[in-house]
Amino acid sequence: MADRQRQTSEIDRQVIRDVNTVGWHVIPVPPGERSPGWAFSIGLFHNHQHPEIILFGLPAETLMPRLSQLCTDVAAGESYRPGATSRDVLDGYICEFRPVHERWLVPFLGHAGWFYGGRDFPVVQCLWPDRNGRLPDHPRFELELLGTQPLLEHEHVDRARARGLLESIGLA
């Protein structure tokens, strides 16, 4: 867990408080002009030996409550490890959980890296389907939704469909 001497902000202190009292903290990253926005957990691995969870591209009013519910479910014993699926995330649509490659921890889960003191923690990405139930790597996934979810299981920026997202946050 993060070195308490390195705390530099109220957000840092709130993360530690929440992880110690609730069991996790959720960090929102608001959408930008060219970024879909995302949120990720901190503390699931520390307290529940469960991968942290990252979720991209849903509307803000949906994103935070859904990720918070996933964290609550993990605390109650549910498991969303790589390969798991769930109909409970988005009103009956099947979402799939996939591993996140270590390359993406710094750009997309930087505060979790601060908390854990490096990259030694697992993460799963919750991928949600289009209206036809197709996940983002399906060849007929709805084109207008392609930029909403990178495929962070892949290391290469183009296979991960992360180039535009990295550019939008000034990292490409």
Q: pLDDT tens-digit profile of 119-161?
A: 999 999 999 999 999 999 999 999 999 889 999 999 999 999 9
Reported as a single tens digit per residue, the pLDDT across 31-85 is 988 889 999 999 999 999 999 999 999 988 899 999 999 999 999 999 999 999 9
> How many distinct helices (H) and strands (E) make up the chain?
6, 6
pLDDT at 170: 85
CA gap 101, 98 in Å, rounded: 10
Residue 8 has pLDDT above 80, yes or no: no
CA gap 46, 87 in Å, rounded: 26
pLDDT at 7: 54
Ramachandran category for residue 12: left, alpha or beta (phi over 0 → left; psi -120 to 50 → alpha): alpha
Q: Mean of the pLDDT values across residues 3-30? A: 86
> CB within 8 A of 110, min separation 6: which ones?
none
Residue 105 has pLDDT above 90, yes or no: yes
pTM of the model: 0.94
45 touches 74 (CB < 8 A) = no
pLDDT at 122: 98
Reduce the DSSP state of residue 3 to 3 states and report it.
coil
pLDDT at 32: 84
Residue 14 has pLDDT above 80, yes or no: yes
Residue 4 has pLDDT above 50, yes or no: no
